[in-house]
């Protein structure tokens, strides 16, 4: 079967995409009321999802137990990307403070990175944590370009890099310095590869709109990346991988599912531009989707990578 499956929200481009779908599952809109929804992260201990509503300067909380949505934190320092570490603590990128911070179990907030080489970061965007405890994040300038998702300011670093925070020393190091606007990022299930989106086309029509794949070297650095996919509709922003290495990435018309080599398999069609996704639920078989103004979800026949 190829094409849009009527009434489901799925578009099959490669027959293998059908294996990812549940016949009777449908895309659900769980909540609406954001200006730009971003950065979903699943917190299994509480059975809830946290996501950012960047222009409204707040983080929201969707509760699986009753479907309610409430404000998790406001103001949120114009938070963007979120993830959790191995201890279940929330790690957040903040535009206004230009930092990466961790929310500890007692609710205290700990700054993990706000400077590189003595200069303020631009506006950390998305973040992932490796099993060794290292924290990897992107730092484009979106939060300092205008007074909408942060505060207008000049870049002190003068470039947009991808960084790694050492789990033992807390040292911040550059792992990729050849991106225009590094954005979403995620590890392969075995953590030997790191995928990074470049959304440089957002401010330059000739800029990149692709995902690159890097080998992760034994010393915690990255090999030179290779482009595996160019976005066919809008930009790849945030994304996550399933256990088989497929990439579920945001795009202008919904979520694009790519195989590990970057081949487009199919789409989850959403009536708004999608910014980011994550897997959640007890079995990580529910894909949560942050559209422009709304939070969506869909159950899949695959499971997210832990």
Q: What angle do CA 204, 174, 94 make, to 5 degrees?
A: 70
- SS3 readout for 151-194: CCCCCCCCCCEEEEECCCCCCEEEEECCCCCEEEEEECCCCCEE
Position 1 scores a pLDDT of: 58
Work out whether strand 274-280 and strand 28-32 pair parallel, antiparallel, or are unpaired.
unpaired
Q: Which of 207, 219, 180 is nearest to 196 (CA)?
A: 180
Per the prediction, the chain carries an average pLDDT of 97
**What pTM was computed for the model?**
0.97
Position 6 scores a pLDDT of: 67
Mean pLDDT of 292-305: 98
Q: What confidence tens digit (pLDDT) does each residue in 183-208 have?
A: 999 999 999 999 999 999 999 999 99
pLDDT above 90 for 53: yes
Mean pLDDT of 273-300: 98
């Amino acid at each position: 079967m190829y094409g849009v499956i009527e009434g489901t929200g799925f578009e099959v481009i490669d027959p293998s995409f059908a294996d990812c779908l549940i016949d009777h599952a449908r895309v659900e809109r769980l909540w609406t009321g954001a200006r730009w929804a971003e950065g979903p992260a699943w917190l299994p201990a509480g059975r809830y999802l946290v996501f950012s509503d960047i222009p409204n300067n707040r983080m929201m909380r969707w509760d699986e137990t009753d479907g309610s949505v409430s404000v998790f934190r406001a103001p949120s320092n114009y938070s963007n990307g979120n993830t959790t570490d191995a201890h279940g603590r929330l790690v957040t990128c903040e535009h206004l403070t230009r930092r990466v911070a961790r929310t500890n179990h007692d609710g205290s907030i700990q700054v993990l990175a706000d400077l590189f080489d003595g200069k303020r970061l631009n506006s950390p965007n998305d973040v992932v944590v490796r099993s060794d405890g290292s924290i990897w994040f992107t730092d484009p300038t979106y939060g300092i370009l205008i007074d909408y998702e942060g505060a207008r300011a000049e870049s002190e670093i003068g470039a947009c890099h991808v960084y790694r925070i050492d789990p033992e020393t807390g040292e911040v190091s550059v792992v990729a310095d050849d991106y225009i606007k590094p954005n979403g990022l995620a590890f392969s299930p075995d953590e030997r590869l790191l995928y990074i989106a470049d959304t440089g086309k957002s401010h330059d029509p000739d800029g990149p709109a692709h995902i690159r794949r890097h080998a992760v070297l034994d010393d915690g650095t990255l090999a030179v990346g290779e482009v595996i996919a160019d976005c066919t509709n809008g930009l790849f922003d945030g994304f996550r991988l399933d256990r088989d290495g497929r990439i579920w990435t945001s795009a202008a018309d919904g979520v694009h599912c790519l195989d590990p080599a970057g081949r487009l398999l199919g789409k989850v069609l959403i009536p708004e531009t999608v910014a980011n996704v994550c897997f959640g639920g007890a079995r990580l078989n529910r894909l949560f989707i942050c559209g422009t103004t709304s939070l969506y979800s869909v159950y899949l026949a695959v499971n997210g990578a832990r």
